[in-house]
């Protein structure tokens, strides 16, 4: 029997956490467990304690400013053979897990993801996150190198794939982009079966979103591809296909060139502004 462990990292999300948990519990294909990974001192435990369901567990610990740490804590504590990630301010549609399981069975993939309804609390619904930019049914490594087309809260993936990848990288240079780095690693083991219809509501508040702290795109890509190359060359996590490493090295070089161009343009602007 398929057992899905839902992992929800949270910090000071009392207003939205309850809805996120209930959206997981009320799935047409019920999850085996919902693991809420809080940070030391977070008041969110009160929300978990108020939910009368034995499937919900609260696990507390530090995070050192990295979202990957509580997620990895949940992965290690999970008892399911599949993992599904859900941010504490997002909500799944009721048949999210059921549709994804049917699609992975159809495609033979060990991972699935989907589009998401974009919701800005102060403005309402604003279309979808990917906005029809992904046309393929399968998201592969080469496609992922172009951009991160995977919404974290949409992912359903076999636990053994995540374990082969070493979990979310706990790298300070990937404070933003740790999920992108993991999807690249995972895509060397399996394609992501992509469902074009939105299966969740993604809360996107520009002022509080982590994307407000996102570095320039060249810096993000440099950090992500550098992390991938280090991981891929590690004997413990080595991969056989040299094409993955070769492509990552090429893209890392391009990112470094963009950094040089960026700095040159910035310095020229500063000279004229004086």
Provide the residue ranges of all domains of the chain, joining segments of one domain with +: 4-212, 231-273
Dihedral sign computed on CA atoms, order 258, 220, 244, 228: positive
Q: Examine the pLDDT at 210 and tell me if it is beyond 70.
A: no
pLDDT of residue 215: 74
pLDDT of residue 217: 85
Mean pLDDT of 145-172: 96
User: Looking at per-residue confidence, does 175 or 82 come out higher?
Assistant: 82
Judge whether 185 and 231 are in contact, CB under 8 Å. yes
CATH of 4-212, one of 3.90.550.10, 3.40.80.10, 3.20.20.70, 3.40.50.800: 3.90.550.10
E strands present in the chain: 4-9, 33-39, 56-61, 82-85, 91-92, 111-120, 124-128, 138-139, 156-158, 192-203
47 — pLDDT class (breaks 50, 70, 90): very high
Tell me the sheet residues that pair with 83. 5, 157
E strands present in 78-208: 82-85, 91-92, 111-120, 124-128, 138-139, 156-158, 192-203
Dihedral sign computed on CA atoms, order 66, 170, 20, 41: negative
Dihedral sign computed on CA atoms, order 135, 137, 142, 146: positive
pLDDT of residue 208: 57
pLDDT in tens, 86-126: 999 999 999 999 999 999 999 999 999 999 999 987 777 77
CA distance 65 to 239: 30
Mean pLDDT of 210-217: 66
Judged by average pLDDT, the poorest of 40-44, 133-137, 163-167, 207-211 is 207-211
């Amino acid at each position: 029997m398929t057992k899905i462990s839902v992992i929800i990292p949270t910090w000071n999300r009392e207003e939205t956490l309850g809805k996120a948990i209930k959206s997981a519990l009320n799935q047409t294909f019920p999850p085996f467990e919902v693991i809420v990974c809080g940070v030391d001192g977070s008041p969110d435990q009160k929300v978990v304690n108020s939910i009368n369901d034995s499937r919900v567990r609260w696990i507390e610990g530090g995070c050192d400013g990295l979202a990957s740490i509580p997620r990895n804590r949940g992965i290690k504590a999970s008892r399911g053979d599949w993992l599904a990630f859900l941010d504490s301010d997002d909500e799944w549609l009721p048949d999210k897990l059921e549709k994804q399981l049917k699609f992975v069975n159809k495609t033979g993939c060990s991972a699935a993801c989907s589009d998401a309804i974009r919701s800005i609390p102060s403005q309402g619904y604003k279309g979808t996150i990917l906005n029809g930019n992904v046309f393929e049914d399968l998201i592969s490594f080469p496609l992922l190198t172009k951009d991160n087309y995977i919404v974290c809260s949409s992912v359903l993936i076999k636990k053994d794939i995540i374990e082969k990848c070493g979990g979310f990288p706990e790298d300070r240079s990937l404070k933003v982009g740790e999920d992108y780095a993991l999807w690249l690693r995972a895509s060397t083991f399996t394609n992501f079966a992509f469902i074009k219809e939105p299966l969740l509501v993604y809360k996107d508040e520009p002022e509080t979103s982590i994307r407000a702290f996102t570095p320039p795109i060249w810096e993000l890509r440099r950090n992500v591809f550098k992390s991938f190359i280090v991981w891929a060359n590690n004997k413990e996590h080595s991969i056989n296909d040299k094409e993955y490493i070769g492509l990552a090295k090429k893209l890392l070089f391009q990112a470094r060139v963009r950094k040089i161009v960026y700095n040159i343009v910035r310095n020229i602007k500063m000279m004229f502004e004086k």
